[in-house]
Amino acid sequence: MTNNVCVGVDVSKNILDTLFKYPAGQAAEQRSFSNAKTGRKKLISRLSQMPGAHVVMEATASYHLGLMYDLNEADIPFMVVNPFCAKAYGRSKNLRSKSDTIDANTLAEFGSERPFIPTQMPSDNQLKIRQLASVIRLLTKHRTATKNSLRMIEQMPVISSEATKELKKIIALIDKAIARTTEVMKQLVLACHKETLALINSVKGVGLKTTLILISYLGDLDSFQSAKQVAHFMGLGNVDNQSGQRTRPRRISKRGHPELRSLMFLCALSAARHNTSCRDLYQRLMAKGKPKKVALIAVANKLVRQIFAVVKNKTPFENNYLEKASISLAS
């Protein structure tokens, strides 16, 4: 519990619904500000008059980033909360109604009752890298949809050469756009994450494009304390489901970033063949009769641990490390 002013902000595209929660004895105050530069400036001006004030907001797709940036410039501490945590907290309060004002109040109470852990603002380069990763993801989806349309036309008994020609042109243009964007993204990553790029890319089964996308979301892994945290961020973390005499099999939570989870699963397909430790794990699980998907998820988690280890230890990956170590001990 804090004696400072805790400010809950429910962020939407156009409005910042704000609730100022003062220390005990003072009534809370509700205000709305525009989620534009002028509106955020008014909110920050108000916060600057409150020593020790801190802001709590939910993560959104991108609408909260402008407020984060302005708060960081004004040196006002803020905490970005996982929407799932905020929703669960609201349920614990037995809230039946939902509105922007209620959500702002819930965030203010959450920040007052729970430990305040300031969120670090990503660097300008990191934000640019994430934007480029989003563009690549969007272009890839369009390319897949266009290729599917081309295949559909090619299966027809009568084919229009003009139709296939135009679709192939579109695919070629998208391929060039992806290549250009990837190169720009690579140069930005080399400018600020050169060592991390080399370390992650050294792990067998993780390609260059995957490494770039991982860095766009994970950075240098400074905000993660363990490989398990990284796995949960990706939605690959294992969770238990046990109550009394009932025990269900462990499974992954999937409460994480779906794109990173899909990427790591694809990497697991390659690692199960070329990464010695991952291949041994995959073959061992398959020999025990585990489903192929379960074995690949285990391989994906193994890859996460390898990525975390090489980055934190600043040591490139060695594919036959255990084999070399056993030979060294034997000699």
Written as six digits, the tokens of 226 are: 């363990």
Written as six digits, the tokens of 77 are: 């501490």
* Per-residue confidence (pLDDT) for residue 143, from 0 to 100: 96
* Per-residue confidence (pLDDT) for residue 62, from 0 to 100: 82
* Per-residue confidence (pLDDT) for residue 99, from 0 to 100: 86
* Per-residue confidence (pLDDT) for residue 96, from 0 to 100: 78
Residue type for 27, please?
A: A
* Per-residue confidence (pLDDT) for residue 272, from 0 to 100: 93
Q: What is the 3-state secondary structure (H, E, C) of the chain?
A: CCCCCEEEEEECCCEEEEEEECCCCCCCEEEEEECCHHHHHHHHHHHHCCCCCEEEEECCCCCCHHHHHHHHHCCCCEEEECHHHHHHHHHHCCCCCCCHHHHHHHHHHHHHHCCCCCCCCCCHHHHHHHHHHHHHHHHHHHHHHHHHHHHHHHCCCCCCHHHHHHHHHHHHHHHHHHHHHHHHHHHHHHHHHHHHHHHHHCCCCCCHHHHHHHHHHHCCCCCCCCHHHHHHHHCCCEEEEEECCEEEEEEECCCCCHHHHHHHHHHHHHHHHHCHHHHHHHHHHHHCCCCHHHHHHHHHHHHHHHHHHHHHHCCCCCCCHHHHHHHHHHC
Q: What is the mean pLDDT of each run of 10 residues along the chain (331 residues)?
A: 78 91 80 92 91 88 88 91 86 83 89 86 86 92 95 92 94 96 94 92 91 90 88 81 67 79 92 92 93 92 94 88 51 47
